[in-house]
Amino acid sequence: MTLVPLVLLGGVELVLRLAGYGRPTTFFKPATINGEAFLVENDKFGLQFFPPELARSPAPVVMRAEKPPDQYRIFLLGESAALGDPAPAFGFGRYLEVLLRERYPETDFEVVCVAMTAINSHAILPIARECARRDGDLWIVYMGNNEMVGPFGAATAFGAKALPGWLVRLRLALGRTRLMQALEDIRIPGRGNDRTRGWEGMKLFTEHRLAPDDPAREIVYRNFRANLEAILRAGERANIPIILSTVAVNLKDFAPLASLPAASDGTNPPPDLLKFTSSAVTAQTAGDWPGAIHFYERALALSSRHADLHYRLGQCQLAVSNLVAARSSFSQACDDDALPFRTDSRLNAIIEEVGQTHARRGVHRFDAPAAMAAHSAVEIPGDESFYEHVHFTFEGNYRLARALADRIAGLLPAHLAQPAVQAWATQEQCERALGLTDWNRREVYDNMVRRLQQPPFAEQPDNSQRIRFWRAQLGEVRQQLTATNAVNAREVYLEAIERRPDDFRLHGNFATFLEAIRDLSGATEQWRRVQSLIPHHHLGPYQVGRLLAEQGQREGAREWLNQAVGLRPDLGAGWLELGTLSLAEGRHEEALQHFNRARQFLPQHPPILLQTAKALSRLKRPEEAIEQVRAAVRLDPGFWEARAFLGEELAFAGQTTEAQKEFEAALKLRPDSPLLHLNLGVALFKQGRDAEAIRHFEEALRLEPRLTPARQYLEQLRSRSRPAD
């Protein structure tokens, strides 16, 4: 490798030229779909910013390489909130596209969402520079939530923290060389760094707390301003109008994820802090709002940057209708959060200042917090629009899209300015066009319940209340999943697909619905359609392979799954499915190899550990099997299948009492499982606890009358003379 001398430009820019660059670094790559030239997202893009195990593929992006003449193309740049997490098919960009198409049916509006989970402005800048070359008519920039926790942030879990801007650019330049990539791939034994942990969502960041006055925050603010300026300049040079939005977050109903004292407060809390805090909490619990306010203010006089104290004070101020003070307290709580996953007031101020500076150059400011506050009874954004801290509910996504649509209407060129329809589509009309039914809602609400049970949400003082709310929502929507409603839902999907037959997300949603009602062949066909629309992506082949395996078509399943991991070699779920296939066919060593491959990319994924345990058990390695399944249970105590298998392995090992405990724990999670009742009955039978065993055998037969072993045990117990316990 030839190293060309370094050249320092202006004391800031460092230009590095190394022979032989490695991984591709562009967001878009060319693809041919059904004979047409398209641009699609590059799965390798994230490797600029994350280690290979943590790089996340964006939601599939597909657009024609050459924009059709009647199309108005909008690029939406941002992070997971802009993407539409937890359901990108129903993000605000999708609602916005429907709103514009319904009101201006003569124009083909296309919203190209180039947002990604876990990125921040360091990654959005190169995406914006590429978008500037892709015939955009308008940009929407909605970013800020990940500045502290994303790549090079002050509380990131992805390596170097809060580097100066010039050093970030040098690091990215080096990271594109083969030499640096080879060095990064070296594992240091015993180091235990985050690179080997796999993607764990927000849980990854719980060990990276940040004091409210940590100097690293200032570096992040400077980098954010510089990146935002560069993003806007990229659009301005291409003469693209830009809507620059401040970022809305849940202030009113979301407690800080963690609180730390300011570094300037010292390491020892003042003696009276605990006393004042305890008195404040007691008064708040009793509904003594003035008393609680008094004591919280006394506590904050001793620890002025304590996020949780500010949040609790805001709750009390809200209770006495002091809305101005409450808003200020909630905002300060967000600013001082030691796990800063929300855009704080300083970041929003930077967005506002930079937008004002560029106002004469085609940049149009948009106030998303005000748009969300307008739908709050107290004009402070909260749970009426958010699932948790920043991600919008279906209602929140529609509200933001509707406000953006109003702003866009005033920016359209003259030949589009007169709408064919005067009224904007309602939320219900948009959701019908997007193919949203209760089956989709069920999936999202279930996702939220599981997400909220994981760190860092699990440690929040009000988290149990939020979980109860979403469980109640989940229970209500499950009651709507009737056969009659399924007929209506099918019509919604078919109608939406008829209007937009090339929308792969509609086909994917329909496939998910068909699987839920157990029409597996129909679901498989819909995923085949997805594969034909996005043949570059692993999603279609993976889902087809998974469903074929469930239908017993193993050879076809293997072919499709191999195609999926060929397109995405780091697809841990694909290797898991291949291993499960091999296990079902009795190819246990091959299965173990696939599971080990899956663990390279999902090292702490409980289902992989469970399947690994099953393979080890069949290879007559019971101690290793028990070790693996115990690890699965530790990672997810609510994983009832793992507890059930652990019980079986312990029973085979003669550890009957321990097996009984695992079966009992599994039954608490899955009380309607006849096999669990059977296995627990056997464990009790072996301990001579006949009366209890009988009850479980009877329950097993009630749930599954054809369960012969339960009937045989019952007959044996009833025929012998041993007295009942």
Both tokens assigned to 648: 């079986």
Whole-angstrom CA distances from 167 to 18, 25, 97, 155, 172 are: 17, 18, 39, 17, 9
Average pLDDT over residues 669-675: 94
In the sheet with 36-41, reading across from the earlier edge strand, the strands are: 28-33, 36-41, 62-64
What domains appear along the chain, each with residue ranges and CATH number? 28-184+194-252+343-436 (3.40.50.1110), 263-335 (1.25.40.10), 672-725 (no CATH)
Interval 337-356: pLDDT, tens: 999 999 999 999 999 999 99
Q: Cα separation of 632 and 666, whole Å?
A: 13
Average pLDDT over residues 189-194: 36
Q: Which of 29-43, 194-208, 423-437, 520-534 has the lowest mean pLDDT?
A: 194-208
Q: Cα separation of 312 and 281, whole Å?
A: 8
Q: Which of 6-15, 313-322, 440-449 has the lowest mean pLDDT?
A: 6-15
Q: What is the DSSP string of 512-569?
A: HHHHHTT-HHHHHHHHHHHHHH-TTSSHHHHHHHHHHHHTT-HHHHHHHHHHHHHH-T
Interval 581-593: pLDDT, tens: 999 999 999 999 9
Handedness of CA 570, 574, 576, 582 (dihedral sign): negative
Confidence tier at 99 by pLDDT (50, 70, 90): very high
In three-state form (DSSP H/G/I as H, E/B as E, the rest C), the secondary structure along 15-40 is ECCECCECCCCCCEEEEEECCEEEEE
Confidence tier at 5 by pLDDT (50, 70, 90): very low
Both tokens assigned to 237: 């040079």
Which of these, 254, 236, 67, 24, lies nearest to 141 by C-alpha position?
236
Q: How many CA atoms lie within 13 A of 375 on its CB side?
A: 22
Confidence check: pLDDT of 184 > 70: no
Res 177: pLDDT? 61
- Average model confidence (pLDDT) for the chain? 90
Which of these, 408, 391, 390, lies nearest to 347 by C-alpha position?
390
Res 455: pLDDT? 87
**Start-end of H helices in 191-336:** 216-237, 271-285, 289-302, 307-319, 323-335
Confidence check: pLDDT of 405 > 80: yes
Q: Which of 6-10, 354-358, 504-508, 607-611 has the lowest mean pLDDT?
A: 6-10
Please tell me the total number of residues recorded for the chain in this structure: 725
Q: Which of 51-60, 407-416, 577-586, 613-622 has the lowest mean pLDDT?
A: 51-60
Confidence check: pLDDT of 201 > 70: no
Confidence check: pLDDT of 721 > 60: no
Q: What is the pTM of this model?
A: 0.89
The most distant pair of C-alpha atoms in the chain lies apart, rounded to whole Å, by 95
Confidence tier at 238 by pLDDT (50, 70, 90): very high
On the 0-12 / 13-18 / 19+ scale of CB atoms within 10 A, 44 is: middle
* 3-state percent breakdown (helix, strand, coil) of the chain, nearest 5: 55, 10, 35
Which of these, 54, 53, 31, lies nearest to 41 by C-alpha position?
31
Per the CB < 8 A criterion, the answer to whether 50 and 58 are in contact is no
Res 3: pLDDT? 36
Confidence tier at 75 by pLDDT (50, 70, 90): very high
The β-bridge relationship of strands 108-113 and 62-64 is unpaired
